[in-house]
Structure 1
Amino acid sequence: MQVHKGWEQPIIEIENFSFSYEEIDKQPLLDGLDVTLNPNEVTLLMGASGSGKSSLALCLNGLYPEAVEGISSGDIFFLGKHIQDCERGELTQKIGIVFQDPESQFCMITVEDELAFTLENRKIPASEIFGKIESVLKAVGMQRFIHHKIHELSGGQKQKIALASVLLLEPELLILDEPTANLDPVSSLEFIELVEAIQEERQMSCLIIEHQAEDWLRLIERVLVIGMDGKLLADDAPDRLFSEQQRLLEQEGIFLPEEYSGGFEGRKRYNQTVPAEKTVLSVRDLSFSCKNQNVLNNINIDVLAGELIAVAGENGAGKSTLLQLMAGLLEPDAGDIFLFDRPLKKWRENKLRKHMGFVFQNPEHQFITDTVYEELTFGMKCNGYTEAEMENAADLWMGQFGLREHRDNNPFALSGGQKRRLSVATVLDVSPDILLFDEPTYGQDAATTTELMDYVMELKAMGTAIIFVTHDMNIVDAADRAIILKQGGVAFSGVPDTLWKKTKMLYEARLRKPARLRQNRRESHVYDIIH
């Protein structure tokens, strides 16, 4: 059911629109979409990972299909004008996109230069540039960072600068593509509150692409759902959709907000097996610095066989660095790491990788081949698997993670969610003694998250130690032990149920309680977390 606001002209009209990446695709990625987006309306776009949500956003602002040599049919109108009749660059200014990874849209080194670059492209007079930069930085709460280098900012700060850059375009439609996926829980809430305030002030239309709707509920007026078949499955008000269409949403692998589901199956509390008293990995007096800045100081951790540990903390707390040190990808300045009582630095690389698997935060950092199949079988080939064994194992993982139809595709051509699933699958060809995951569930739909967690729990039951670096408090809630990093040290190490009672420490570490411990929409504002 499409919602129209009076007789105002729609911002976007999509009529029987289809899109494919290649002529040989059996099924269009987007198939016969009919959608209208209205002025001053906040719309949530949902769908399973790989259903074409980001591709649709890039079609709306005219970058696709040309940029990827794709194929489209049907029509898209912007304020009544067919997008094919718009001048080059016109739509990218009027329809601004903030991507999941803000670094992908930065061109310059400093905040000031990045924002000035945007204004120069708009041919804004030099005399007006500084004033506009000051104004937009004030709007996003980043005035004092004007001279900072972008790479030195936290994840949340980078996302605010990405938003500021888009706001300088003065767009009619703002598209946010999973903008909080890489942010710690408090930074995520702060960003949502910022978007809410800016939208109310500027009366912009907003299209938000997001897997988890919970914290956006107070903003959104409509929810669109794209199915895995590329068709529009739903267009309705949030309360009606989440109340009356739960079966449809669960079939499509879409997260239901906690207040509507009572806890989606993918976020359930698992019945834990007691970890064996066998130490797999030991971290002793570990310290590490980068560019003369201390990142980690005097870290001590023991990891037991069959234990699931969740490592959490704010952006920049050193979580990914700790994981890379544990994996032997970085060398500590001081201290030692032991795998089965043997110093990590004394392990040969090929032997180490048989005992330990590592999944990077950025999936592209671990891709080394030209096809999905080759990526899945590369490790197997190195370990002496036969062709038949590799074929069977690869087919199993491609089926498990929804990648069969992408068997011969280049890993770099996959969607963000598909890349993440492939990166996880590549370390599951054997059952190592310890698996290290850096944000394995970000950008994933409910079905894939559930499958991953179920498989992780199977490995755990067989004695594999699992370490997750995560911002997802529901994942932390399912762990045997939570480790919270703050200011370079371990601020907490213990069972999650004890962690949730430490309200002050949670907020200082920019974390929050899991969904099961919140009442309806309470704690959906930063103020509510503090009080």
Structure 2
Amino acid sequence: MPAEMALQLRDVVFRYLENGKRNILDHTDLDVAAGTLTVIMGGSGCGKSTLAAVAAGLYPENGGYLQGGSIRLFGHNLKGLDPQKRAAYLTVLFQNPDLQFCMDTLRAEMRFCLENICVPACEMDKKIETAAAELQIADLLDRTLTTLSGGEKQKAALACLYLLESRCILLDECFANLDEAEAKRLLPMLIKMKAEGRTLIAIDHKADLWLDYADEFILLQEGCHIAARGISRQNLTQHRADFDELGLFYPLASAPCHAKGKADNAPILQFRGVSIRKGLPQKRKWKRKAYDTPFLLQNADADFPAGAMTAVLGASGIGKTTTFLSVLKQHPYSGQILLQGQDIAQSKPRELYRQIGIVFQNPANQFVTQNVEDEVCVGLRLWQPDLPEDACRSKAEELLERYGLKRQRRYSPYMLSQGQQRRLAVLSVLAGGQKLLLLDEPTYGQDAKSVDAIMGHLRQKVEQEGLTVIFITHDTALAGQWADKIYHLENAALTESEEP
């Protein structure tokens, strides 16, 4: 008897622009059997996240154009299902969890989810408390969602999906904002959901965590065409060429080290007795010490060498991003932060930003134009105001070609995939010419080819132009591969690693 199909796509054609030249889903066919755990992999920008949104009915209902084809969820035509019925069959965890929330706290968000599936009010609190206990997120329930770290938001979004009890859950880069330890803590819950009969479809750039649990890995190429499928841990070695050809991370493979041993260079940035507390209190309250929120960093000393790459590792929500914000005077701190020997307390924000560039965890927060090429040109003109227009455009196209974004140069930055947005954000900041660059998870959502392009370009700028790079990452392998110096943030202490 044929297996029941949770998801079926037949000859699906989808594009964002009605008269655009490129189909994101280009006559795509895909079958996923019910009750399985299927991992979908593909290069950055090949259409994986769009596939998820189309499968869930979010597109074209909320954007884009479905030019043809059919989509079925557990045998039901997607076109004939209203949103509530669709949610009973399939729900999506977005790559960017900020897009998932409607309410101000997780508890309110979970109640909202239960209201949408008509759970009686008298049963809601028990369901919320049970889910929070099983996912070990009770401490997040009443915190404002905007104050959560990227990893905490990912866990919050997963909790909401857990409550909805959909027959199929599509996870778009669900581990991207989590450190490995947190990911391994969540994985058993996902496996439990599969054991309970749910279908799991995971979109991921790395297969390592899924190897022992996935029924199948599917590799996609441009247009969301299947390049290879039926891959499992047992036959993985037979598909090494497929991973390499598509520029994907091959599971459990070691990577070469590109660090140059510049950890002893004179520091460009220094911490002296720096303490940072959780939350975002007013500066006047900080001075009066009128609150007692926990320390994220306490009495820390650190030296970040000039002309080198330094990685900062730490668990999700430990305070890495907040530390970056303190360097830019966007979060209160005590102690001294010195930039080229000068206390930043005496610097105006404009002066700091002329010396320090930053790529945020969510790159969409920093775009200032509606055109990819214009976004790069803004950075180029900022530091080369006399650069002729033709030369500026030529330089921008050259850089976009290097980062695999030339074909998207006329797109709005908001039409790009999360991985493409991150590459554009890095490129735009690099065009600015600052001597110190802060990168918050620079390789989030990237395939192996794109990671090498980003980090290789940064290394080149470090070697040839004396750029200093400090990057936050959950990826210990990435830090070991590229960083000249590594700090670990743990228990409010910033500790230098003995070996990069």
TM value normalised by structure 1 = 0.85
Question: How far is 1:329 from its partner?
Answer: 3.9
Give 5+ residue unaligned stretches, structure 2.
282-290
Question: How far is 1:46 from its partner?
Answer: 0.6
Q: 2:473 aligns to what?
A: 470
Question: How far is 1:474 from its partner?
Answer: 0.9
Contact 1:282 / 1:337 at 8 angstroms: preserved in 2? yes
Distance 1:23 1:402, change over 3 A: same
Q: 1:121 aligns with which of 105, 110, 116?
A: 116
Distance 1:270 1:84, change over 3 A: same
Report the Cα distance in structure 2 between the residues aligned to 1:143 and 1:468, rounded to whole angstroms: 30
Larger deviation, residues 168-177 vs 279-288 = 279-288
* 1:330 aligned onto 2:330: yes
Distance 1:73 1:103, change over 3 A: same
* Aligned AA (1:178): E
* Aligned AA (1:238): S
Question: How far is 1:136 from its partner?
Answer: 2.9
Q: Deviations over 1:7-56 (max 9, x none)?
A: 23211221111211113332311112222111111100111111111111
Report the Cα distance in structure 2 between the residues aligned to 1:132 and 1:317, rounded to whole angstroms: 28
Q: 2:272 aligns to what?
A: 284
* Aligned 1:244-263 pairs, distance under 5 A: 244-258=238-252, 262-263=253-254
* 1:484 aligned onto 2:485: no
Report the Cα distance in structure 2 between the residues aligned to 1:425 and 1:241, rounded to whole angstroms: 38
Larger deviation, residues 10-19 vs 415-424 = 10-19
Distance 1:181 1:226, change over 3 A: same
Q: Any idea what SS the aligned residue of 2:477 has?
A: helix
Report the Cα distance in structure 2 between the residues aligned to 1:153 and 1:378, rounded to whole angstroms: 31
* 1:495 aligned onto 2:461: no
Q: 1:101 aligns with which of 88, 96, 106?
A: 96
* Aligned AA (1:58): A
Report the Cα distance in structure 2 between the residues aligned to 1:146 and 1:319, rounded to whole angstroms: 22
* Aligned AA (1:274): K
Question: Number of matched residues?
Answer: 483
Distance 1:388 1:493, change over 3 A: same
* Aligned AA (2:46): S
Q: 1:526 aligns to what?
A: none
Report the Cα distance in structure 1 between the residues aligned to 2:470 and 2:140, rounded to whole angstroms: 34
* 1:33 aligned onto 2:36: no
* Aligned 1:425-464 pairs, distance under 5 A: 425-429=427-431, 431-462=433-464, 463-464=466-467
Report the Cα distance in structure 2 between the residues aligned to 1:495 and 1:455, rounded to whole angstroms: 26
Report the Cα distance in structure 2 between the residues aligned to 1:47 and 1:419, rounded to whole angstroms: 16
* Aligned AA (1:416): Q
* 1:210 aligned onto 2:212: no
Contact 2:95 / 2:418 at 8 angstroms: preserved in 1? no
Report the Cα distance in structure 2 between the residues aligned to 1:255 and 1:56, rounded to whole angstroms: 21
Contact 1:22 / 1:70 at 8 angstroms: preserved in 2? yes
Q: Any idea what SS the aligned residue of 1:420 has?
A: helix
Q: Deviations over 1:488-511 (max 9, x none)?
A: 221x213335xxxxxxxxxxxxxx
Question: How far is 1:230 from its partner?
Answer: 3.3
Contact 2:114 / 2:124 at 8 angstroms: preserved in 1? yes
Distance 1:434 1:151, change over 3 A: closer
Report the Cα distance in structure 1 between the residues aligned to 2:369 and 2:50, rounded to whole angstroms: 24
Q: Any idea what SS the aligned residue of 2:5 has?
A: coil
Contact 1:42 / 1:208 at 8 angstroms: preserved in 2? yes
Q: Deviations over 1:289-335 (max 9, x none)?
A: 33342332222222222222111111222211222222x24264322
Q: Deviations over 1:82-106 (max 9, x none)?
A: 1112234321332011223333212
Q: 1:65 aligns with which of 42, 52, 60?
A: 60
Q: 2:301 aligns to what?
A: 300
Question: How far is 1:150 from its partner?
Answer: 4.2
* Aligned AA (1:255): F
Report the Cα distance in structure 1 between the residues aligned to 2:406 and 2:251, rounded to whole angstroms: 30
Report the Cα distance in structure 2 between the residues aligned to 1:460 and 1:276, rounded to whole angstroms: 15
* Aligned 1:187-266 pairs, distance under 5 A: 187-200=182-195, 202-239=196-233, 242-258=236-252, 262-263=253-254
Q: 2:169 aligns to what?
A: 174
Q: 1:394 aligns with which of 384, 393, 396?
A: 396
* Aligned 1:158-169 pairs, distance under 5 A: 158-169=153-164
Q: Deviations over 1:406-442 (max 9, x none)?
A: 2122212211111101100012225542221111011
Q: Any idea what SS the aligned residue of 1:245 has?
A: helix
Identical columns (%) = 29
Q: 1:367 aligns to what?
A: 367
TM value normalised by structure 2 = 0.90
Question: How far is 1:153 from its partner?
Answer: 5.1
Q: 1:411 aligns with which of 391, 413, 416?
A: 413
Question: How far is 1:148 from its partner?
Answer: 5.0
Contact 1:224 / 1:234 at 8 angstroms: preserved in 2? yes
